[in-house]
Amino acid sequence: MKKIATGNKAVAEAVKQVVPAVVAAYPITPQTEIVEQIAEFVTSGELKSRYIAVESEHSAMAACIGASITGVRTFTATSSHGLLYMHEMTNWAAGARLPIVMANVNRSLGPGWNIWAEHTDAMQERDTGWLQVYVSTVQEAYDAIIMAFRIAEHHDVLLPVMVNLDGFLLSHIMQPLDTIEPGDFIPPLSLPYAIDVTNPAGYGGLTGPDQHFKFRWDIERSMRDSVTVIEETEKEFAKRFGRRYGFTENYRCEDAEIIIVSLGTLGKETEVAIDLLRKEGIRAGSMRLRWLRPFPDLSLLKGKQVVVIDRDYSFGRGGILATEIVAQTKEDVFSVIAGLGGQEVTYEDVADFVRKRRVGTEFWFGVNANV
């Protein structure tokens, strides 16, 4: 069915299609619209889920954990400080191998108080064991939520998945949306170690130094195995529903000498910049990373000039995406820090980053005067 929807409404529509048994929710700007819409679906009877309105984000994730342990499908959503408040529980969810799906509407962290887009909130969760995907359109937000359940619940994965969408720049923007009936694309959940009340057993007990590292390795093994599961899921989704995705979305990279790498809505702004630069004779291309965990193969960047735009920062170290790209490719990059706290970054700005690039350096948009 074709309609017009915001990114938040698209996420809620996808949740309605998947029908999780439990949705635990606490409001926070700019995510609130997701859980409000889900609550309306539950109240109207359109969604047959148990909706738990909890007293905090920590409790929202704890409720999802408790429900997931029993072998049922669960969902929640959050943003920014809410995600940080969940941090103890996000580690627990991944360590317990629970296929929880969460939408995170990316928002800056305070102080100063800021409700606009930034990726630092999700980046602070990148080492917890959650899979992370970043979307750039309303349609992609919807599709990613549906695929996230299938990926998370696959027995080769059994890890939680976080779907990230930029606050206001996508969460509140209205775009066309084509909804689907997933049918058996989402098979029934079968958790191999669900709690059985008729056969009581310990769960999450103390593990000593001779065993604990094995649990950590098992998360890493599943993260690596998730690469194949993601590829197969996206291939099957394209076959059934006609929309194709990948670990990256590449635009005019085939003959590019310069490639701009970004996340989220910046990737779409960058595509417009690429067309502008091509008219000037600059052979540029865009690579929008969709998956941050597992981190994609970036061999396409080998031998290219690389401009990385980070809507995040690791103080004392640099742009997080740029740092990860350098670590994998061993290539020097021009690291641009832009868009923090919702700072406006237009396609003209992106084009100017490329024109005045200095590979091997870091540039803060709006701070440095030389670009």
Q: Compute φ and ψ for 339, nearest 5 degrees.
A: 90, 5
- 184 pLDDT higher than 90: yes
What are the tens digits of pLDDT across the range 242-259? 999 999 999 999 999 999
Helical spans, DSSP H, in the chain: 7-18, 32-44, 57-69, 80-85, 87-95, 120-123, 138-153, 212-241, 266-279, 320-329, 347-355
Tell me: pLDDT of 21 over 60.
yes
Taking 60 as the threshold, does the pLDDT of residue 370 lie above it?
Answer: no
How open is the CA angle 265-351-338, to the nearest 5 degrees? Answer: 50
Using DSSP's 3-state secondary structure scheme, residue 103 falls into strand
| pLDDT band of 369, cuts 50, 70, 90 | low
Q: What would the DSSP string read from start to end of 225-238?
A: HHHHHHHHHHHHHH
Say yes or no to pLDDT of 231 above 90. Answer: yes
What is the C-alpha separation between 362 and 290, in angstroms, rounded? 23
- By the 8 A CB rule, do 194 and 68 touch? no
What is the chain's mean pLDDT, rounded?
A: 97
Residue 343 in contact with residue 360, Cβ under 8 Å? no
Q: What integer pLDDT is reported at residue 196 of this predicted model?
A: 87
Q: Are 138 and 7 in contact (CB under 8 A)?
A: yes
pLDDT on residue 270: 98
Average pLDDT over residues 343-368: 96
CA–CA dist 179, 30 (Å, integer): 23
The whole-number pLDDT of residue 199 equals 86
Cβ-contact 119, 263 below 8 angstroms: yes
DSSP state of 294: S
Distances (CA, A) of 369 to 255, 260, 363, 366: 31, 21, 9, 7
Q: Are 63 and 22 in contact (CB under 8 A)?
A: yes
Nearest CA-CA partner of 303 in 262, 333, 280, 273: 333
DSSP 300: G
Distance, in Å, from the CA atom of 37 to the CA atom of 142, rounded to the nearest integer, reads 14
pTM more than 0.95: yes
Percent of the chain with pLDDT over 70: 99
The DSSP element (H or E) to which 291 belongs, if any, is strand 291-293
**Which CA distances in Å does 235 have to 110, 142, 224?**
40, 16, 18
Residues 59-80 have a mean pLDDT of 97
Interval 113-162: pLDDT, tens: 999 999 999 999 999 999 999 999 999 999 999 999 999 999 999 999 99
> What domains can you pick out in the chain, each with its CATH number?
2-181+209-241 (3.40.50.970), 248-364 (3.40.50.920)
Residue among 216, 222, 276, 274 at smallest CA distance from 250: 274
